[in-house]
């Protein structure tokens, strides 16, 4: 059996096992085997030309429809020439913290004009390997994302969204690619020592300008290197146990959502990024470059 096929198949059990348990190590290096290395072919100077960074808030519980939307959107972005990063966060407490689970590169193919420089037998194996690499990378990213979504909980007291975004922004900015996209799965409800968007166990009306000033005073703006930002899950939280009928039904009034959108649009603008889609809670348009 060809070496390129053996290399990828040796990792196949990892994808199958992800639904049961994720590796304990942080996936800061490429977890997807290289088809260039497996076939002893010189890799391109830039093995990928686009990045998708998926950042999931552990304090958010999404229904089945929203979870499927997250997974479908992630898979749709995983094509040849793509680097993906799957990370989770809540607050640095109760055994939870910002954690990169998997990083992977689905490599760019050999340009057709250069295929004549490769031995025919290696080229055939390389093409087979690339098809399997795509499937492997998609399964790894989607299975990891699904596992994080399933482990979401409303029992965590705090969610440091601003600090998590600031922390990951340098990794996004340093990528020397033209197309960068950050997919944030969160309710958008900051609840930290800096500020809280809650009051009496319900979402409060915020003043976007006041909250942006707090972010500035606490040095919480980042630099995403002109990345495109998509947010899914805004305003999602468990219905209140008491209070008004609307609160107990989990109702979010338009003014609250508009204020949240204005705040996050301002935050990303001042963090060298562009908020493309703000799901309240669902995306109305799919992820795109």
CB 5 within 8 A of CB 132: yes
d(CA 100, CA 103) in angstroms, rounded, equals 8
Which pLDDT score, from 0 to 100, does residue 152 have? 83
CB 192 within 8 A of CB 91: yes
CB 48 within 8 A of CB 82: yes
d(CA 93, CA 157) in angstroms, rounded, equals 9
Which pLDDT score, from 0 to 100, does residue 25 have? 44
Q: Residue 221's Cα: distance from chain center in Å?
A: 19
Running along the chain, 289 residues long, what does each successive block of 10 average in pLDDT?
50 40 58 96 94 95 96 98 95 69 97 89 94 98 97 74 96 96 96 87 89 98 98 80 52 85 98 97 96
Which pLDDT score, from 0 to 100, does residue 96 have? 58
Q: What is the H or E stretch that residue 278 is in?
A: strand 273-278
Which pLDDT score, from 0 to 100, does residue 198 have? 86
Q: Residue 109's Cα: distance from chain center in Å?
A: 24
CB 41 within 8 A of CB 166: no
d(CA 78, CA 136) in angstroms, rounded, equals 11
Here the tokens at position 79 are 């094509």
Q: Is 30 helix (H, G, I), strand (E, B) or coil?
A: strand
Which pLDDT score, from 0 to 100, does residue 17 have? 40
d(CA 4, CA 17) in angstroms, rounded, equals 22
Please report how the helices 64-77 and 120-150 are oriented relative to each other, as an axis angle in degrees rounded to 10: 160
Which pLDDT score, from 0 to 100, does residue 90 have? 80
Which pLDDT score, from 0 to 100, does residue 204 have? 87
Handedness of CA 215, 219, 223, 224 (dihedral sign): negative
Residue 50 has a CB neighbour count (10 Å cut-off) of: 20
Which pLDDT score, from 0 to 100, does residue 21 have? 39
């Amino acid at each position: 059996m060809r070496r390129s096929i053996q290399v990828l198949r040796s990792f196949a059990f990892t994808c199958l096992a992800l639904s049961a348990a994720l590796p304990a190590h942080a996936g800061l290096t490429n977890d997807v085997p290289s088809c260039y290395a497996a076939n002893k072919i010189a890799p391109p100077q830039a093995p990928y030309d686009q990045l998708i960074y998926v950042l999931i808030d552990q304090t958010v519980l999404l229904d089945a429809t929203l979870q499927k939307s997250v997974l479908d959107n992630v898979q749709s972005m995983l094509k040849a020439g793509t680097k993906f990063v799957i990370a989770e966060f809540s607050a640095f407490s109760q055994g939870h913290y910002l954690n990169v689970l998997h990083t992977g590169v689905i490599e760019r193919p050999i340009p057709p004009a250069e295929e004549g420089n490769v031995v025919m037998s290696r080229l055939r194996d390389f093409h087979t390997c690339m098809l399997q690499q795509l499937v492997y990378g998609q399964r790894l990213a989607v299975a990891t994302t699904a596992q994080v979504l399933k482990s979401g909980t409303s029992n965590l007291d705090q969610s440091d969204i601003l600090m998590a975004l600031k922390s990951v922004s340098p990794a996004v900015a340093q990528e020397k690619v033209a197309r960068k996209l950050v997919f944030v799965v969160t309710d958008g409800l900051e609840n930290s020592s800096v500020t809280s968007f809650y009051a009496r166990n319900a979402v409060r009306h915020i003043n976007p300008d006041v909250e942006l000033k707090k972010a500035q005073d606490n040095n919480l703006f980042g630099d995403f290197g002109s990345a495109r930002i998509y947010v899914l899950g805004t305003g999602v939280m468990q219905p209140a146990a008491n209070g008004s009928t609307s609160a107990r039904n989990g109702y979010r009034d338009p003014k609250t959502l508009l204020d949240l959108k204005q705040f996050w649009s301002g935050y990303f603008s001042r963090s060298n990024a562009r908020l493309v889609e703000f799901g309240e809670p669902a995306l109305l348009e799919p992820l795109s470059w």
